[in-house]
Amino acid sequence: MNSEADDYSSNTKRLHFLLVPLMEQGHMIPMIDLARLLATRDILVTFATTPVNLSRIQPIVDRAAASALPIRFVELHFPVADVGLPDGCESVDLLPSTELILPFLNALPLLRDPLEAHLRISDPFGWPKPVCLISDNQQHWTADVARCLNIPRLIFHGPSCFFLYCNLLINRHRAELEAALEASSGGSIMLPDLPHPIRVSNREVSAVFSSDPDWSKYMETIRVAEESADGVLVNSFVELEPWYFERYGEATGKPVWPVGPLSLYKEEIEVKAARGRVSSIDNNLLFQWLDKQVVGSVVLVSFGSVIRNTMAQLVELGHGLEASGRPFIWVVKEVAERQVPGSEWVAEFEKRVEGRGIMIRGWAPQAAILGHEAVGGFVTHCGWNSMLEAVAMGVVMATWPHLYDQFLNELLAVEVLKIGVVVAVEEPKMFGAEKGDEVVVKVSRGDVERIVERLMVGGKEGEERRERAKELRDKARTAMEEGGSSWKGLQDVINYVSERQKIL
């Protein structure tokens, strides 16, 4: 932030919000967007996270026009080595194995001491004490911090209300659902009392409910902290899922505020290109290539920040993309990070498809790519941010979920919004069990080719899908514009905090 520009007397009258994200790209990126949006509404924002995460995001935020915004970064020391995690593993995507996710999550309360130490020191810029704490639902320990400060704690939820409500139903009625599944002939049942045909199997149920006692204990801690929260911010918009917004609000008995799609926070294209992390490709060359492609012709394939596919699966995916004959951008993190056996195959493949396909080994400027008019389809793992970014840009998707909320997100895209086509599935991974190359490949090159054709063309059905996607894009933009539903949602959050402050 620009401390020079800060005026002591005006700062003391402004509301100050403290933001504590989960250290995972899919949670950190929308929280940064939220920080910027709050700051544009005259809120002072402290964004507290660990050194490795700060080194990823701070240069990007500082480079943006947003550097003039009143956002201050606070570094929280995270002693990962004390809990047996490898040095520097301060974000979920940096963990060498998914088995370390639970130890990582269990270590999050170690951030409490450094945060409280920061809150005790007197402020050099004359900022008043925070009047609101917004934290990821996984940062459950912040409930106590807010209690000690006597300020509201609001939860920032990564996924959609559709997911949150279905997840709640599954967890509340798990025993009945499991019995019904057991008795069903096809191994699947409809989730009851929903306005859409949401058919779930063991896949969806086991992805959101773990019978592992350690996971159960952790989930219970989250649930209790959620119950004590004063309200919930959701990165979604009412027009996308009105019924689910209403029911989720009723089910929790708390205010639920829509604030998204947060990716529509307006900024320069260069800045957007570097969302979350600095891009691993020369953006000028990438966008020059995109500029030369026919409108709506390019397929983007990207699986978010956490998912890693097996080499066998990558080979099938590559052959399928090649056979589809369509121009594509394929984000391949596996090769950049792990030096997996078979990475020579990737190099050969890259040479073979030169001109027609671009491979990004590492971090892609995903939101900016989705916003380019040449992009017509998106093969996605159904991470909520990726899905919502595609919705915000009017891009249809081929859904290929891997874990947790992604199976239900797929149902939202396909059965409710009708803007997605199903690729296929792997076995569910409850927060991911490590999988090796020996895993049977579930999606063949033929499947990939067929799905890409259906996604990018698909006859009348395909036309209608694209039409619906464009309608949702327009609604998403209206929601974020001044006076729109999500614009109002954020204003309601500010008003709520302001009122609470007067009472306290």
Ligand X SMILES: O=c1ccn([C@@H]2O[C@H](COP(=O)(O)OP(=O)(O)O[C@H]3O[C@H](CO)[C@@H](O)[C@H](O)[C@H]3O)[C@@H](O)[C@H]2O)c(=O)[nH]1
Residues that bind ligand X (CB under 6 A): 24-27, 29, 158-159, 275-276, 302, 304-307, 331, 363-364, 366-367, 383-386, 389, 404-406
Shortest approach of ligand X to residue 424 CB, angstroms? 18
In sequence order, what are the beta bridge partners of 358? 329
- Please provide residue 293's backbone torsions phi and psi, each rounded to the nearest 5 degrees: -90, 155
Shortest reach from residue 136's CB to ligand X, in Å: 9
Nearer to ligand X, 25 or 139 (CB): 25
Indicate left, alpha or beta for 280 from its phi (over 0: left) and psi (-120 to 50: alpha).
Answer: alpha
Between residues 16 and 333, which has the closer beta carbon with respect to ligand X? 333
Nearest 5°: phi and psi at 137?
-60, -25
**The pair of three-digit structure tokens given for residue 418, joined into one six-digit string:** 């009708």
Bridge partner list, 189: 200
**Least Å from the CB of residue 179 to ligand X:** 28
**Are 131 and 496 in contact, with CB atoms under 8 Å apart?**
no
Q: Is the CB of 95 or the CB of 367 nearer to ligand X?
A: 367
Q: State which residue, 102 or 149, has the beta carbon closest to ligand X.
A: 102
Element (H, E) at 126: none
Q: Any idea what DSSP says for residue 95?
A: -
β-bridge partners, 18: 46, 133
Q: At closest approach, how far in Å is the CB of 318 from ligand X? A: 17
Task: Specify the residue for token string 């009625």.
Answer: 173
> Shortest distance, CB of residue 334 to ligand X, whole angstroms?
12
Q: Residue with structure tokens 């009047």?
A: 131
Tokens of 363: 């971090």
Shortest Cβ distance from residue 8 to ligand X (Å)? 36
Q: Give the nearer residue to ligand X in terms of CB position, either 70 or 260.
A: 260
| Max CA distance (Å), the chain | 69
CA dist 5 and 125 (Å) reads 10
Residue whose CB is less far from ligand X, 75 or 337 = 337
> What is the nearest approach in angstroms of ligand X to the Cβ of residue 119?
27
CA–CA dist 473, 471 (Å, integer): 5
Contacts of 261 (CB under 8 A, 6+ apart): 235, 236, 237, 388, 389, 391, 392, 476, 479, 480, 486
**Which residue's CB is nearer to ligand X, number 138 or number 142?**
138
CB of 489 to ligand X, least distance (A): 18
Assess contact for 135 and 21: CB atoms under 8 A: yes
Amino acid in position 318: G
Kindly provide the residue ranges of all beta strands, DSSP E only, lying in 16-118, ordered along the sequence: 16-20, 44-49, 71-75
Q: How far is Cα 241 from Cα 68, in angstroms, rounded to an integer?
A: 35
Residue 340 Cβ, how far from ligand X at the closest point, in Å?
17
Pick 275 or 326: Cβ nearer ligand X: 275
Q: Nearer Cβ to ligand X, position 334 or 389? A: 389
Which residue lies nearer to ligand X by CB, 78 or 303?
303
Q: How far is the CB of 384 from ligand X (least distance, A)?
A: 4
| Nearer residue to ligand X within complex by CB, 54 or 151 | 54
Torsion-angle region of 355 (φ positive above 0: left; ψ -120 to 50: alpha; else: beta): left
**Smallest Cα–Cα separation from 57: which of 85, 15, 16, 25?**
25
Using the minimum distance from each CB to ligand X, give the nearer residue, 101 or 315: 101
User: Could you tell me the smallest distance in angstroms from the CB atom of residue 243 to ligand X?
Assistant: 20
Q: How far apart are CA 90 and CA 52, in angstroms?
A: 6
Whether the Cβ atoms of residue 93 and residue 305 lie closer than 8 Å to each other? yes
Smallest gap, in angstroms, from Cβ of residue 159 to ligand X?
Answer: 5
| Cα–Cα distance list, 95 to 308, 430, 434 (Å) | 12, 16, 12
